[in-house]
Amino acid sequence: MRKRVTHRLRGSEDCDPEDFFYICSLSTRVMVYKGMLMPEQLFPYFPDLQRDDFISHLAMVHSRFSTNTFPSWDRAQPLRFMSHNGEINTLRGNVNKMRSREGTLESPAFGPALERSFPVNEPDLSDSGNFDNVLELLLMTGRELPEAVMMMIPEAWQRHPTMDAKKREMYEYFSTMMEPWDGPASIVFTDGTYIGATLDRNGLRPSRYYVTEDDMVIMASEVGVLDIPEESVVSKGRLQPGRMFLVNFEEGRIIDDAELKTRYSDAKPYGKWLEEQRLTIDEIPVPGEVGDLDERSLLARLKLNGFTWEHLREVLKPMAELAKEPLGSMGNDAPLAVLSDQPRMLYDYFKQLFAQVTNPPIDSVRESVIMSLKSYIGPEKNLLVPGSENAHRLMLEEPVITNDQLAALKAIDYRGWTSKTIDICYPVRSGAEGLVAALDRICDETDRAIAEGYSLVILSDRQAGRNAIPLPSLLAGGAIHQYLGKHHKRTQDGLVLVSAEP
């Protein structure tokens, strides 16, 4: 009802496009007070908070300036189920994926009425607001609050040598259904039954807690937010990276992180589902001989794709010899691509978008433990209903594949998976009009491939030559990604890019 009212107001002819409607809550358990206020202004502004009979067993308070968005009333925290200190760096990708999933979402609890709540993420929300909307979707369709938070902010499970096997299997299964909402963040959440907090996998935001002898639990981003007599403190500590701190009011106790995650990892046979359904690229048969590199056309193809001798010498040579990314100077004094008089790669026109001033550097030891390149590709199933079919995806240990593996994917007819190769080149003499027509063509061909049941679409520029010029791989992949996302189909196939670009 709340989302329908919001959508109707936004779609009204009387609604100014700049207006934004945000209904704080229609909950019977939790009341939300928010505003662009200093802490001392909160109680005078909301006089009911000063009444003696206005009593609650919990309070979640957020007082902080905005990091990634311009401050506004509706963006003030807390949200309906959570508040957080930090930022979600992966926000744009998370929102795009959720928009794509709307084409496959089904819920026994809502039936066809579920579509009335779309879009899951309304425009103009902050990173916190988008996170809150997805968390609400998972809750309203049957998941418990701690499980939903574990799905969205998992521990670093891939390279954890001592993690319990069942917990690792649970996190891996979750990764087949949803990508992490990642970034330096301390997330606090409540639905009136639970109140808790979890920390990002890197532990880049502080969260410290006290437990007093009169059963009061206080958690804050810093020590000393409240004056608590030392003699009344029973225990204190800090939240560890990836760990969850949870108070269950129905049970009247703090639930330990290990106990909590054991409960959820034992709830379903995640390991069995993965073993039965997961595909790995090494098990897919390779069809016969795979051709070697054509050295006769090598120089022409290097020129065609914009390679320079500097790139070959300073970048590719160290990578080939040492299997490591080459290191350079700290600064980059090359002119911005948009200001340069020289032809530049399309990639050069883009920069990473996040509030990097608040992110401390990641050292190599932590990076090796926390981060992994393992990922799943291919069609996703229904996020809202857990089952073995969700794990029927292709696991890649790293995003770069070999020619043998590519040949296997091109010819795949295995366990219900097939692929279609789409040429991303266009005639040299067709000019700008030919480029636009090629983008329309590859989007249409990908759409038809999904309708015909192909699991993978392989975008290839191998036909480039004297008469055919390749689309920039970023442009080709981005066009298809945005097209399918707009039509809620991006999660219904996997994309593999074959490109000679540096």
pLDDT tens-digit series, residues 421-458: 999 999 999 989 999 999 999 999 999 999 999 999 99
| Confidence band for 10, pLDDT divided at 50, 70 and 90 | confident
Cβ-contact 500, 293 below 8 angstroms: no
What are the pLDDT digits (tens) for 210-255? 999 999 999 998 888 888 999 999 999 999 888 999 999 999 999 9
Taking the C-alpha atoms of residue 117 and residue 122, their distance in angstroms, rounded to an integer, is: 10
Q: Is 356's pLDDT higher than 60?
A: no
- Taking the complete model, does pTM exceed 0.75, yes or no? yes
Mean pLDDT for 459-488 is 93
Whether the bond between 123 and the residue before it is cis, its omega within 30 degrees of 0, is no
Three-class DSSP category at 28? coil
Mean pLDDT, range 310-332, rounded to an integer: 80
Rounded to an integer, the average pLDDT of 368-385 is 90
Phi, psi angles (nearest 5°) of residue 391: -85, 0
* pLDDT of 353: 66
Using DSSP, state whether 10 is helix, strand or coil. Answer: helix
d(C-alpha 90, C-alpha 237), whole Å: 29
DSSP class of residue 397 equals: S
Task: Determine the average pLDDT of the residues in 309-328.
Answer: 84
Q: Of 114 and 7, which is predicted with more confidence?
A: 114
pLDDT at residue number 26:
87
- CB under 8 Å to 24, separation ≥6 — which residues? 32, 33, 34, 80
Asked whether residue 358 carries a pLDDT value surpassing 90, the answer given is: no
Q: What is the pLDDT of residue 223?
A: 83
% of the chain residues with pLDDT over 70: 94
What pLDDT was estimated at residue 319?
87
- Answer yes or no: are the C-beta atoms of 258 and 242 closer than 8 Å: no
Per-residue confidence (pLDDT) for residue 328, from 0 to 100: 67
In terms of DSSP H, where are the helices of 305-402? 309-311, 317-322, 364-370
Q: What local confidence, expressed as pLDDT, does residue 360 receive?
A: 62
Q: How many Å apart are CA 79 and CA 81, to the nearest integer? A: 6
pLDDT at residue number 22: 80
pLDDT(490) > 60: yes
Q: In whole angstroms, give the CA distance from residue 198 to residue 497.
A: 36
Q: Give residue-wise pLDDT tens across range 44-85.
A: 999 999 999 989 999 999 987 776 677 888 888 899 999 988
| Pair 410, 458: CB distance under 8 Å | yes
Residue 20: band (very low, low, confident or very high) from pLDDT cuts 50, 70, 90: low
Task: State yes or no: pLDDT of 352 exceeds 80.
Answer: no
Task: Provide the pLDDT confidence category of residue 307 given band limits of 50, 70 and 90.
Answer: confident
Q: What tens digit of pLDDT does each residue of 330-346 get?
A: 566 777 888 888 888 88
The two three-digit tokens of residue 281, written as one number = 């690229």
Per-residue pLDDT, averaged over 126-143, amounts to: 93
β-strand partners of 425: 470
Residue with tokens 């949870």: 246
Q: Which amino acid is at 176?
A: T
Residue 173, Cβ density class (10 Å: 0-12 exposed, 13-18 middle, ≥19 buried):
buried
Cα 55 to the center of its chain, rounded Å: 38
Predicted local distance difference test score (pLDDT) of residue 9: 81
Query: How many Cβ atoms from other residues are within 10 Å of residue 414's Cβ?
Result: 15
Residue 151 CB-density burial (10 A; 0-12 exposed, 13-18 middle, 19+ buried): buried
**381 Ramachandran zone, left/alpha/beta (phi>0; psi -120 to 50):** beta
Q: Which amino acid is at 411?
A: A
Of 131, 119, 129, 126, the closest CA to residue 181 belongs to 131
What rounded mean pLDDT belongs to the chain?
Answer: 89
Give the model confidence (pLDDT) of 164-206 as tens digits. 999 999 999 999 999 999 888 899 999 999 999 999 888 888 8
pLDDT of residue 302 exceeding 60: yes
Residue 160: predicted pLDDT: 86
